[in-house]
Amino acid sequence: MSQKHLQTVWTGTQIKLSRLVTSEISASKGFDSKRQANNYVRELFIQYNDIMRKLDEIYETLIHPQKRLIIRILLDGIVGRLVELKREMIKFDNCEYTYFEDLALDHNKTLDDLCIKIPRYFSQDRFKAVEQRNHTIEMILNRLDHSKTNLSIRTSSKSLLITKTNQANVITLAHAVRILQAYERARQGRVHAYFMHRMKNEVKITETKLINDNHLNNSCLIIQTIWRQKYAEKLFYEKKIEQQKLLGMILPQRKVLTTDDSYERDKKRRDLQLQHQQQLDESPDYIKQKIRQYEETEVKSRIEHVLIQWLLESRQLYGQFPIYPSNGSDMLFKDITLAEVQEFVNKVS
């Protein structure tokens, strides 16, 4: 989205928002029925939601920090107005869910377009705080898991010791022989199953070899026909492109953006936005430093020149330099009355 298109979209949404606000202010405050009032509130909700979506898209695409600040103020106001309208709709319907099917058809919108989407700057501006919170939550969960594993290991070791002591006290020779016999039968069964599976695989391999040898010639013919067909299609496509180039019928190809390209583009845009915002935050200190660096000496020299000229002119007029008070220039900025000023002039004269 180019900056010129963004500017046109912004002007359109701004005009639409100003008209909506003026119409809302000048609208009649009383309604004939509750249904009429509910329809009016729902229409306002749809229009404000549409404006919020457009402004959110503009805010995410713009790079200029002052413009982003203005759109941020507008977005905050529109979100607050949407919350107010949602509260009014809950009062009318006595339910948190509102039906927009009839108005969606009138405004040529789907139900997905009428859903409230949280502006993206809520999560992006709080990215550092959210990341820090997630990090602390992960640390707490890791500590809890570590403590749980330690407790489970201790309890399992104690239970094993108890069961071993109990079994050592309870088990008999006949029971031990039966256990050993059962384990040995199970081992022999596993070995027998492994050998049977191996024999079946060997039989299958020999059968597939025979089948492949019989169908080898047919498979070679199929591969050759498919390859010749694809090669003929490729030659036909190349000839078609050459004829279109000769006639000037080929349009310039548009680059299709993949997900990786769009992600990289969004990342670059966010970096530029953060960079410009940082420059805007640091600009007052930078301007003060530049003024002190370049204009301080010039202002000092100008003040010195004015003071010297004033002293010389006063000496030519009165024959002596002017007399400063004991407090210096602080006397000039002191809050005094007219009588004190007259007394001070008489003393000097």
Tokens encoding 241: 């492109």
For the chain, what is the mean pLDDT?
78
Q: Which residues contact 16 (CB under 8 A, 6 or more apart)?
A: 47, 51
pLDDT in tens, 232-289: 999 999 888 888 877 777 766 655 556 666 777 777 877 887 888 888 888 888 788 8
Listed in sequence order, the residues at least 6 apart from 339 whose beta carbon sits closer than 8 Å to its beta carbon are: none
Q: What is the pLDDT of residues 11-69, one digit of tens each?
A: 888 888 888 888 888 877 777 778 888 888 888 888 888 888 888 888 888 888 888 88
Q: Quote the CA–CA distance of 344 and 339 in Å, as a whole number.
A: 9
Q: Is 319 left (phi over 0), alpha (psi -120 to 50) or beta?
A: left
Does the structure show a pLDDT above 80 at 180? Answer: yes
Which residues 6+ apart lie within 8 Å of 31 measured at CB?
37, 40
What does pTM read for this prediction?
Answer: 0.50
Q: What is the pLDDT of residues 188-233, one digit of tens each?
A: 888 888 888 888 888 888 777 766 666 666 777 888 888 899 999 9
pLDDT tens-place string over residues 112-147: 777 778 888 777 777 777 778 888 888 888 888 777
